[in-house]
Amino acid sequence: MPHGYNGKILRVDLSNKTTTVETPSETVYRRYMGGSALSLYFLLKEQKAGVDPLGPDNKLVFMSNVTSGVPMPGLTRYTIAARSPLTGAFGEAEAGGFWGPELKLSGFDGIIIEGCSPDPVYLWIKDGEAEIRDAANLWGKDTGEVQQLIRDELGDKRIRVAQCGQAGENLVPYACVVNELKHVNGRTGMGAVMGSKNLRAIAVRGTGEVSVADPEKMKEIRKEAVDRIPKSPLGYTLKKIGTPVFVMGLQNSGILPTKNFQVGRFDGAEAISGENLEETLLEAPKGCYACPIMCKRTVRVEGKYGATPEYGGPEYETLASLGSVCCIDNLEAICHGNELCNRWGLDTISTGVSIAFAMECMERGILTENDTDKIDLRFGNADGMLEMIRKIAFREGFGDILADGVKRASQKIGKGSEEWAMHIKGLEMALHDPRGKTGVGLGFAVSPTGADHIEAPHDTSFAAEGVMLDAMKPLGLTEPMSPTDLGPKKVCQFAHTQQIFSFNNSLGICNFSAVPYSAYTLPLIVDTVAAVTGWDTSLYEIMELGERAITMARMFNVREGLSNKDDYLPDRLFEPLDEGTEEEKQINKKEFAEALRLYYEAMGWDSKTGVPTDGRLAYLGLEWLISQK
């Protein structure tokens, strides 16, 4: 077994309440390495197509990776994967914090959850041992209470707890999994899958170490990475302001999603900005395991919209989803909404976009207060937004409709409301407007999980000569490119950079710690994998890992019945922003269709159907998937 791994996968059968340990071969570890790719390996090998996402046959995979548990900046992320209850497609979500490294230090590389417990349980893992424990006293409680109860019961305040919250218990299909109350596997409803299995939490504690093939080389890499962080384009800014810094950047570019993506500027942007948060409500910056960037914000708010530091603070996506997209400029209310979502286990993106959809329906006269439990859901009503968060989490009244996401909600409401349901494949839009970043639009469309904003680095990174473009030159990407270009060169750029973000998800690398944004250059990533494992690896092998994971996710969706028809953008995104001005931004439908065709061909997929060809599957070592087409 190579260094960097425990060589053990924990398999948990909740129906029979048994646990077993498996030892994958080194070949499996090297080909898939961890995270997204290794999760897909188990799902595609073992799970039949068409399983009910909320049924016992849907496997739920928690997977670390080769770098997790090694005390290095930005190498903390882990993956949760299953068939998504929100989309019916591949469901995947990553999170940082401390839970992933703790799992690795406890003696396991991953966990495969099968079946369904007849009663509430939680899983307790410590130093190579696993136990399924009764969770009747945890069911129905806030995440903060559950974390404290588990730590008290087991007598260790350093236990790390990942849990689904009441939203997961209530099978809200965009329920998330939250660890340490503020690090969130946010998208695609992994919390609902967890809740459907009556699994409230997984508590882990590890006192072991991760073996490293070349400790001295790892020390050199760590020093170089730490030295590079404050010199990187985003390293210093993220440490100072965190992801909320993006509010004013997007506002000034005219692409801050506002009023359910109708416009790109928000009059209240400064009020909800990272700079204002820093000056008014910030308690302290926080970070993840062994990472000096410290990009997380914790806030403290007193009074009506109280918020406590233990639940963290809003990221950019939350400031936009509960703020600009709902036209709410009350920063304290947004912080309170963020805490409610973390208390109850809701993805803030899907929650905010679902509420914004309802607000547009009310403003257009499709809904009235008689439909929304007497709640005024017009744009700008912070109290209405906060009350609807509660109703969604507990599936009360109109909240029960919005809890199923905008695609299903619009189908129930009807009256043309489908036009304002901002989703792709059933997953609500992340808070980036592709009319000003066309590569993001391509990523939204082809992402296997739906409207995912971290499918590839954003176009603005490569608009001019500089450090970020220089970081891409080992891939042959040497020329600046307009963020609104959608020609063949943009497709080439996207396909290459998509592979980077894909292998990040399999190696557990935070996008904010690596190229093009931060310290880890492509050669440094290769050196890190080699120093940890002892493998004589290369950039070629790492890039191929990224492509392999992308293709596996595509094959997961193909066998679930998805096709090229599911690679789309909502019609609203083909309408111009700032129409009639010099700053007008628009995506041309014909150009977008041609970009999709070129992307399919670049990936070795059929240009008409988007299905990976047999030859490309064989090339990537995925010949075993040919029979599943």
pLDDT recorded at residue 379 = 98
pLDDT recorded at residue 233 = 82
Q: How do 423-424 and 427-428 pair as beta strands?
A: antiparallel
Burial of 458-474, coded b for 16+ CB within 10 Å and e otherwise, reads bbbbbbeeeebbebbee
Share of the chain above pLDDT 70, in %: 100
The band of 583, judged by pLDDT with boundaries at 50, 70 and 90, is confident
Could you give the CA distance from residue 550 to residue 498 in angstroms, rounded to a whole number?
9
pLDDT recorded at residue 235 = 84
- Total length of the chain: 629
pLDDT above 90: residue 475: yes
pLDDT above 80: residue 132: yes
Could you give the CA distance from residue 438 to residue 552 in angstroms, rounded to a whole number?
24
pLDDT above 90: residue 386: yes
Q: What's the pLDDT tens digit per position in 207-259?
A: 999 999 999 999 999 999 999 998 888 888 999 999 999 999 999 999 999 99
pLDDT recorded at residue 581 = 80
Distance from CA of residue 308 to its chain's centroid? Answer: 24
Name the class of domain 438-628: mainly alpha
User: Would you tell me which CATH number, out of the four given (3.60.9.10, 3.40.50.1820, 1.10.10.10, 3.40.50.300), belongs to the domain 9-205?
Assistant: 3.60.9.10
- Please choose, from the candidates 423, 353, 351, the residue with its C-alpha nearest in 3D space to the C-alpha of residue 389: 351
Q: What's the pLDDT tens digit per position in 523-577?
A: 999 999 999 999 999 999 999 999 999 999 999 999 999 999 999 999 999 999 9
Q: In what order do the strands lie in the sheet with 110-114?
A: 18-22, 9-13, 110-114, 60-63, 78-83, 90-95
Residue ranges of the chain assigned to CATH 3.60.9.10:
9-205
Facing residues of 518 across strands?
none
Sort 428 into a burial class: Cβ within 10 Å, 0-12 / 13-18 / 19+.
Answer: buried
Average pLDDT, rounded, for the chain: 97
Share of the chain above pLDDT 90, in %: 97
Residue ranges of the chain assigned to CATH 1.10.569.10:
244-421
Residue ranges of the chain assigned to CATH 1.10.599.10:
438-628
pLDDT above 90: residue 629: no
Q: Which residue spans within 86-198 are E strands per DSSP?
A: 90-95, 110-114, 121-126, 129-134, 160-163, 177-179, 183-185
Q: What's the pLDDT tens digit per position in 415-440?
A: 999 999 999 999 999 999 999 999 99
Entry pTM = 0.98
Q: What's the pLDDT tens digit per position in 321-356?
A: 999 999 999 999 999 999 999 999 999 999 999 999
Q: What's the pLDDT tens digit per position in 40-71?
A: 999 999 999 999 999 999 999 999 999 999 99
pLDDT above 80: residue 1: no
Q: Are 338 and 184 in contact (CB under 8 A)?
A: no
The first and second tokens of residue 402, run together, are 């919005």
The band of 108, judged by pLDDT with boundaries at 50, 70 and 90, is very high
* 244-421 has CATH 1.10.569.10 classification: yes
